[in-house]
Amino acid sequence: MSTIETTSQLSPAPTESTHGFRRDVGIVGLMFVSLGSIIGSGWLFGALYAAQQAGPAALISWGLGAVFMLALALIHAELGGAYPVSGGTARFPHYSHGSVVGYTIGWLWWVGAATVAPIEVEAALQYFTHYVSWLTKTSGGETVLTGQGYAIAVLLMAVFTVVNMLGVRWLAKSNTPITSWKLAIPVLALITLMATRFHGANFHAAGGFMPFGFHGVFSAMATGGVIFAYQGFEQAVQLGSESANPRRNIPVAVIGAMILGVVIYVLLQIAFIGALDPANLSHGWSKLAFNGLVGPFAGLATAVGLSWLAILLYVDAAISPGGTGLLYTATSARVAYGVSHEGWWPRMFSRLSARGIPLVSTVLSFLIGIVIFLPFPGWQSLVKLITAASSLSYGFAAVAAASLRLQDPGRDRPFRLPGMWVLAPFGFVVANLVVYWSGWPTVWRVEVALAIGFAVFAGYRMFGDRGRMPRLDLRPALWLPPYLVGILLISYFGRYSGRNSIPFWWDIALVAVFSVAIFALALVVRLPDDKAQRYIENLDPMFEDELEPGADAPLSREA
């Protein structure tokens, strides 16, 4: 079981380009990167789908989701502040557990990130069906793109790509006003709806506050868009090496964006339930229906006579998802850069342009995005996949955070997470619960995506540039096979579209116990401290505070 032996065996810095990432993003811009990713299409549809699956108890879904995601956000805040590198989420586990685990998380996170821009485009086009009917159609009870809608979707993806190619300064400048708008419109909508029509009786109508029990609460978190809506806090981590003061800015941006997102989403759910006409609930929450269902909040605004608000919401349906899609086009490219930089993809994916942009990785994100539209032509069909894939990657980050505390104890951590030894295993448990609640059909698809990633891994290993590949770190990856097989089996026999063989609550206990056991195993087999340090020493030295904002920084240090 070979591991790295000398620093020279690590993936070298990309020498083809003399350009580095530019440190153009300040603390407000970085926070808005995360907040702009959190406030996307999730606010347009999350309240509706969560209510359909959980009824008024969707509020519990949002509350539990907030606790879960805040724990994971705090873990990322420590990692991002201590190791501010581009594509960090995909690289932290590499530093703690070596190349095989590093590649696995890199592929997984890239799959999740590369599919977000398409889902945001789908959300925008679904809302605009109200005015342009030929953009979408109903197929199998789900709203999906038509052929013409697909063409418009590809055009929008191309716009995201061009803006990203102009450089991170253009991205930050365009994102700040977009996010300001995205923040203002939901706040305006929830205040106006609450003031105009609020039926308190809706919170215990059509079966009571919790018509589907905790099963519905948990399902709404994973498949109703709750966890999906909260995702995005880690975007500040992915762009951290392009911040003027990453050690300070990353933790503030991650935590601040997450707290704002939680407050807004909970209030939106309250406003949505209260604004419903009681007649809309005549057939129960699962069959909740009203005019304008393809654009829930705009439909409610029209129903209560707020036509001006409906117009604003239809405009926001272009701006809000568009802004998030713009950001994820950038961050998915950074993850591809990180995977290439570590030596697992061809060198061309880590080449930077004169503007400090990984051009080939950005184009790759565009191409994957337009392909994703084909098997997943609707918003709902993609939510489950993205939620499960991203949650798995969050779990890897929790393992890395605890491991690096042991392997790199002397590292300056501007934000040092209190209670790491409680919150890290808790974060791993909740990440796996979200995957389980996503349902068997989603879990097996995610694992198929991982299998494809391993096939790509094997192909490049056989035919790629062996001179820049790190050695296989097999022992630190011993926890991966039982982990992935175990999650698959629990899901198959579980109660969420599985065989329903495990009693309710016992299934949750099983996931928790299994997760703690895997977490402990991962800590035991982590890289030895000296070998982990060799990976860490090959970090991009972007956390040297003497570099002025806007100055080009070198990509990595040679040993």
Written in H, E and C, the secondary structure of 393-462 is HHHHHHHHHHHHHHHCCCCCCCCCCCCHHHHHHHHHHHHHHHHHHCCHHHHHHHHHHHHHHHHHHHHHHH
Asked whether residue 6 is domain-assigned, the answer is: no
* CA 198 to mean position of chain CA atoms: 33
- Residue 68 contacts by C-beta under 8 Å, 6 or more apart in sequence? 221, 227, 427, 430, 431, 433, 434
> Which pLDDT belongs to residue 541?
39
Residue 320's SS3 state is helix
Asked whether residue 239 is domain-assigned, the answer is: yes
- The tokens for 396 are 């890897």
Dist. CA 202–CA 92, nearest whole Å? 45
Asked whether residue 275 is domain-assigned, the answer is: yes
Dist. CA 104–CA 479, nearest whole Å? 12
Asked whether residue 495 is domain-assigned, the answer is: yes
Give the DSSP H/E element, type plus range, for residue 144.
Answer: strand 142-145
Per the structure, how many domains does the chain have?
1
Cα-based distances in Å from 467 to 10, 104, 227, 341, 358: 10, 21, 41, 13, 22
Radius of gyration from C-alpha coordinates of the chain? 22
> Which pLDDT belongs to residue 199?
93
Q: Is the dihedral of CA 284, 387, 118, 256 positive or negative?
A: positive
> Which pLDDT belongs to residue 172?
57
> Which pLDDT belongs to residue 132?
83
* CA 448 to mean position of chain CA atoms: 19
Number of neighbours of residue 497 by Cβ within 10 angstroms: 17
Give the DSSP H/E element, type plus range, for residue 139.
Answer: strand 136-139
> Which pLDDT belongs to residue 271?
95
Q: What one-letter code names the amino acid at 338?
A: G
Give the chain's residues under pLDDT 70: 1-27, 86-87, 90, 140-141, 167-176, 238-247, 292-294, 377-380, 538-559
CATH code of residue 58: 1.20.1740.10
Dist. CA 305–CA 307, nearest whole Å? 6
CB contact at 8 A, 112 and 390: yes
Dist. CA 462–CA 452, nearest whole Å? 15
- The tokens for 116 are 């977000």
CB contact at 8 A, 231 and 150: no
**Host domain of residue 163:** 26-536
Asked whether residue 252 is domain-assigned, the answer is: yes
Residue 507's SS3 state is helix
Whole-prediction pTM value? 0.80
Asked whether residue 5 is domain-assigned, the answer is: no
> Which pLDDT belongs to residue 87?
62
Asked whether residue 552 is domain-assigned, the answer is: no
What is the end-to-end Cα distance of the chain in Å, rounded?
Answer: 24
Cα-based distances in Å from 179 to 157, 263, 364, 543: 19, 16, 25, 26
Q: What angle is formed at CA 369 by the lines to CA 160 and CA 367, rounded to 5 degrees?
A: 90
> Which pLDDT belongs to residue 242?
58
Asked whether residue 314 is domain-assigned, the answer is: yes
